[in-house]
């Protein structure tokens, strides 16, 4: 008989025309060809060790002969896993969170996981709803800089597990965290500015629900008592470029010689606003940011800022989440100490 007429052990015709296109065979046909039940085929395809080795070999041979590929969705359902992990952030337009997303996405992708992303638009209540919904559709969750209060996160801990916190540490919460030493970062900013002779500082505060904002503000409020002659003004602002731009006139009105902005987006907005008002930076006012987002070095003038390991935070978040999903411990909490990058937006105090 010619090669084209050969029949394999499962009764499927094979030959020079190549194998049957994947996806045409069904689990029922594999079960019939192997002489077993559909449930047995399912267990074999899902790697169950409970199937008799001889039966398992027959099923695999039949599946190969029929070019059978199990449905990915059915497999996830049978295993109780989605194949995805989720990330919830307050604001996707902020390059800080885009960097974390990139690091997490690359690491999860190498492990064959999809990444679901949701944005809460700085709304703590929306964040809780999104976190719960994301967790229902994923095997694990990363919360980046969550705005929900500590007590709310502790109350939701069991329903969200396994999950990892980034840019936040919540005492008493049974979840690993990767946070930033905001007080140390602000300390470096203040030491730099006071070393340049600045004595009147203004802080452009971030979102009220931001734990990072609270920590930076607390560190700044301690400065006047620790450094003689230093005064601090605090202006409500926000987290985005437009917030900083809108605050430029108020910065001039308060008479400060140096601006400590909540983040680089706010600092970039202030730089633009001051330039439009004819205020020289750093000749008349110095400006500092926080985060070191990618374009901070390309502002006019380049922005003095506090650098944090954004991509690394995403990768480390994945490593801890992977361990939790595998039934291992999530590891110890990490608090990264940032470092100050001095660029052209800061200079000696005027006069």
DSSP class per residue in 10-50: TS-B-STT-SPPTT-S-HHHHHHHHTS-HHHHHHHHTT-TT
**Rounded alpha-carbon distances, angstroms, from residue 286 to 61, 99, 302:** 72, 27, 11
Whether pLDDT at 323 is above 90: yes
Whether pLDDT at 62 is above 70: yes
Q: Alpha-carbon distance 225 to 212, whole Å? A: 22
Whether pLDDT at 297 is above 80: yes
User: Which of 190-199, 265-274, 305-314 is predicted with the least confidence, judged by mean pLDDT?
Assistant: 305-314
CA atoms within a 13 Å half-sphere pointing along the CA-CB vector of 232:
22
For the segment 168-221, what is each residue's pLDDT rounded down to a tens digit?
999 999 899 999 999 999 999 999 999 999 999 999 999 998 999 999 999 999
Among 50-54, 222-226, 254-258, which range has the highest average pLDDT?
254-258
What pLDDT does 81 receive?
Answer: 63
What pLDDT does 18 receive?
Answer: 41
pTM (2 d.p.): 0.76
What pLDDT does 11 receive?
Answer: 34
Whether pLDDT at 77 is above 80: no
What pLDDT does 273 receive?
Answer: 98
45 pLDDT tier (thresholds 50, 70, 90): confident
Q: Alpha-carbon distance 37 to 41, whole Å? A: 7
54 pLDDT tier (thresholds 50, 70, 90): confident
Domains of the chain, first to last = 3-79 (1.10.260.40), 84-180+310-336 (3.40.50.2300), 182-309 (3.40.50.2300)
What is the β-pairing status of strands 305-307 and 114-119? unpaired
The mean pLDDT of 217-228, rounded to a whole number, is 94
* Count of other CB atoms within 10 angstroms of residue 351: 6
Whether pLDDT at 73 is above 90: no
Q: Alpha-carbon distance 245 to 265, whole Å? A: 10
10 pLDDT tier (thresholds 50, 70, 90): very low
**Residue 309 host element (H or E):** none
Give the closest residue to 265 by CA, choosing from 227, 235, 296.
Answer: 296
């Amino acid at each position: 008989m010619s090669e084209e007429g050969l029949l394999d052990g499962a009764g499927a015709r094979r030959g020079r025309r190549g194998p049957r296109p994947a996806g045409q065979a069904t689990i029922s046909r594999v079960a019939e060809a192997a002489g077993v039940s559909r449930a047995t085929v399912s267990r074999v395809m899902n790697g169950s060790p409970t199937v008799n080795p001889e039966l398992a070999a027959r099923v695999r041979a039949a599946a190969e002969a029929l070019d059978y590929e199990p449905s990915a969705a059915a497999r996830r359902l049978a295993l109780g896993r989605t194949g995805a992990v989720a990330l919830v952030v307050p604001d996707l337009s902020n390059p800080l969170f885009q960097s974390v997303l990139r690091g997490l996405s690359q690491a999860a992708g190498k492990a064959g996981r999809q990444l679901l992303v949701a944005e809460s638009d700085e709304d703590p209540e929306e964040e809780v709803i999104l976190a719960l919904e994301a967790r229902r559709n994923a095997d694990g969750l990363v919360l980046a800089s969550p705005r929900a209060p500590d007590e709310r996160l502790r109350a939701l801990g069991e329903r969200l597990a396994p999950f990892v916190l980034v840019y936040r540490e919540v005492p008493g919460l049974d979840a690993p965290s990767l946070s930033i030493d905001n007080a140390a970062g602000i300390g470096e900013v203040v030491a730099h500015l006071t070393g340049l002779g600045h004595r009147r500082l203004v802080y452009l505060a971030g979102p009220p629900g931001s734990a990072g904002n609270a920590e930076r503000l607390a560190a700044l409020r301690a400065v006047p008592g620790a450094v003689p002659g230093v005064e601090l003004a605090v202006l409500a602002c926000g987290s985005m470029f437009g917030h900083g731009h809108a605050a430029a006139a108020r910065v001039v009105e308060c008479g400060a010689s140096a601006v400590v902005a909540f983040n680089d987006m706010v600092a970039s907005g202030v730089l633009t606003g001051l330039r439009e008002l004819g205020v020289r930076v750093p000749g008349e006012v110095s400006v500092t940011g926080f985060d070191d987002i990618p374009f901070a070095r390309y502002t006019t003038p380049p922005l003095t800022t506090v650098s944090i390991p954004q991509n690394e935070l995403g990768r480390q978040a994945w490593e801890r989440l992977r361990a939790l999903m595998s039934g291992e411990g999530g590891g110890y909490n990490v608090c990264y100490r940032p470092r100050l990058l001095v660029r052209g937006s800061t200079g000696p105090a005027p006069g």
